[in-house]
Structure 1
């Protein structure tokens, strides 16, 4: 695989990940953090950093809109639930285990 093919393949995989997350809005960011130690907000930060590496300045809100497919405030209002005490306990346990 040449560098251009590798880049296109990676971009395709990222687009599929975003489509998968979009199709599974019921999976909360806290669940992703507990299970995989990353969430949609992490992807947004990585997207913003990747743009910066290319000499493109975008802000966090623009990066989140690229990942969430809509303004974050809209996604949050329509899809994000408050974390349950059980979710917070699991998240805190994961954080403690990583120290």
Structure 2
């Protein structure tokens, strides 16, 4: 497999993950992703922006978030993101303490 093939496969996997989180499971809360997996959509957006900057491309945090969320972050948040419950906050705090 060539480097080009590897890059294409990685890009396809990323797009599938992004689409899964945007289209099929927008109900999954970022805090739940953080508790279970240690990353969330915002992390993906940060990594996306980091990759752009490593290649000399200028990208704002808002532009990166829109690429991951498929819409402006504020719009996604208003449509899909609920306030974290006390239980979620406690689980997140416990996870961050154990990491």
TMscore range, shorter length: over 0.9
CA offsets, 1:42-90, max 9 Å, x none? 0000000000111101000000000000000000011100000000000
Residue aligning to 2:62: 61
TM (norm. structure 1) is 0.98
Structure 1 CA distance, aligned partners of 2:74 and 2:9?
A: 31
Residue aligning to 1:4: 4
Residue aligning to 2:93: 92
Gaps of 5+ in 1: none
Residue aligning to 1:74: 75
Gaps of 5+ in 2: none
Residue aligning to 1:35: 36
Residue aligning to 1:18: 18
Structure 2 CA distance, aligned partners of 1:53 and 1:8?
A: 18
Alignment root-mean-square deviation, CA: 0.4
Structure 1 CA distance, aligned partners of 2:27 and 2:74?
A: 16
The size of the alignment, in residue pairs, is: 98
